[in-house]
Amino acid sequence: MSTIDSVNRLKRSAGILLHPTSLWTSYGIGDFGPSARDFIQYLKRAGQSFWQMLPLGPTGYLDSPYQCISAFAGNPLLISPEELVELNLISKKEAINCLEDENGRIKWSMSESVQYAHVRIAKYRILQIAYDNLYPSEDASIAANLSKEREGLIKEFDEFCSAQFYWLNDFVLYFSLKQLHDLKSWVEWEKKYRNRDEIALEKWRSTHESELHFLKFIQWIFQRQWNALLKYAHEHGVKIIGDMPIFVAHDSADVWVHRDIFTLNEDGSLLYQAGVPPDYFSKTGQLWGNPLYDWENLKKLKYSWWIDRFKRYSELADWIRVDHFRGFEAYWRVKGDAVNAINGEWIKGPGISLFNAIEKKLGNLQILAENLGIITPEVEKLRLKYNYPGMYVLHFAFTGDTTSPHLPFNFKSPYNFAYTGTHDNNTTLGWWQEDATDGEKQYFNTYLNRGMKGITEEMIQLSYKSTAIVAMVPIQDVLNQSAKFRMNTPSVPDGNWIYRVPMLGLDENKAKWLRFLAETYGRL
């Protein structure tokens, strides 16, 4: 099947943007358990075809899913304790007891925002008990008294380790050494570990087998629960849109292992770093701190790391939203020690060379290109060559510039996704109350011939009535929430990624209304 055929398989439909961490559970953070299945049922009742998520990798700096410590591993915090109870690997009482802080209190788990410090401690306690119950002896081999059920789980675990060895062994070794160094970045480790002295690494492997095995267990449980959730979504007519950041975190297993494919100084520090010039979100640009790729060397290596990465993501989701797609055509290069992103330069990326290599190895992939920001004709030419759908964001549409590509009457092709806003935007209500200028408000009112009520509903309806093949709405807009509930504020380091759906749950009246919109505008 050609890429064009793949895109044309899309029908008019709609979806909701919600990261699983935002689902309400009694464990302080959303996960792949009952709350996720309940949300899939909600999507079905609301006439939705897609669930879009943020990256699912293990978070590092400031808990950002766009700064993961691995491009291949899963986030342990998304593992459901309820599902572990179902497997008889931990009792419900044991799991609840793991929520207690040093004072024996668990009130933090009921907070209106995710308390990552508490969540991380609790989840690892739970996972350690589950692992110890799967392997009750000190030896990490199958004990003679294990039940057939447990023998089956261990066999499944071993098969996972064999299938994912190409990234798994390096990741668990990296994370084990990161713990040894008090979670410091690998560039601050002892020289023998920082520079991957093989004798030192082999000694560490041989003396820490149990710890490394436990870390592999965590990744297997993540994969097992995710596979079950993905299957459940498909059974209920919902497809998953994953999210692949173009760059990886400097402090990551990928950079530690593959220094030859990144632009680094000899000591591992950043020679150059990624970002974007001044834009809608920041007058000084955005400085991301990610290392840039050595595309020349990657090409010599036939893009093998990228092919493995796309392969992995294609296993996790039906569609892959590629963040900052424009960086494949040209990327903003800033010096490694820069304090802002103003003084950078555009450098040509790999372009068709990379995507030809990916398609040759993996065939046609379902890719959604995030084509926001400074988009040139060359970027659009690259996207359209492979017929990847792009994105329109209605928050950007009403500046008074009638040539704005985000205005519905300027949508060049129906094979694009229309968003009210993204995870980086304010909520629609927050945009209206805090960000929109008087001119934007006047133009929006004129455009829709509306009064001054129901801005969020109007914006959602506008995305549904547009020609875009998919209308995508963040959960905060579905619930008509204010700026207080936005997921992320670019260039502001604190207070991001902590949003939780209210404990009272999702609004069933909103589900009925979304279904009505889907019926009205041909999106069922």
Q: Which of 63, 170, 243, 370 is catalytic?
A: 370
Question: How many C-beta atoms surround the C-beta of residue 501 within 10 A?
Answer: 22
3-state DSSP call for residue 332?
strand
DSSP state of 122: H
Q: Which of 63, 251, 424, 477 is catalytic?
A: 424
* Buried-exposed string 347-379: b where 16+ CB fall within 10 A, e elsewhere: eebbbeebbebbbeeeebbbbbbbbbbeeeeeb
The residue among 369, 331, 333 whose CA lies nearest residue 350 is 331
Question: How many C-beta atoms surround the C-beta of residue 204 within 10 A?
Answer: 18
- Contact indicator for 409, 474 with CB cutoff of 8 Å: no
Q: Where are the beta strands (DSSP E) in 279-328?
A: 286-291, 319-322
Which pair of structure tokens corresponds to residue 92? 């419900």
Q: Which of 254, 323, 329, 458 is catalytic?
A: 323
DSSP state of 58: P
How many residues are there in the chain? 524
- Contact indicator for 305, 312 with CB cutoff of 8 Å: no
Compute the distance between CA of residue 482 and CA of residue 446 in angstroms, rounded to an integer: 23
Compute the distance between CA of residue 318 and CA of residue 309 in angstroms, rounded to an integer: 15
Which pair of structure tokens corresponds to residue 215? 């870390």
Q: Quick check: is 323 catalytic?
A: yes
Q: Quick check: is 370 catalytic?
A: yes
3-state DSSP call for residue 242?
strand
Q: Quick check: is 267 catalytic?
A: no
- Contact indicator for 453, 429 with CB cutoff of 8 Å: no
- Contact indicator for 391, 326 with CB cutoff of 8 Å: no
Question: How many C-beta atoms surround the C-beta of residue 464 within 10 A?
Answer: 22
- Contact indicator for 217, 172 with CB cutoff of 8 Å: no
- Contact indicator for 87, 103 with CB cutoff of 8 Å: no
Q: Where are the beta strands (DSSP E) in 422-490?
A: 470-474
Report the catalytic residues: 323, 370, 424
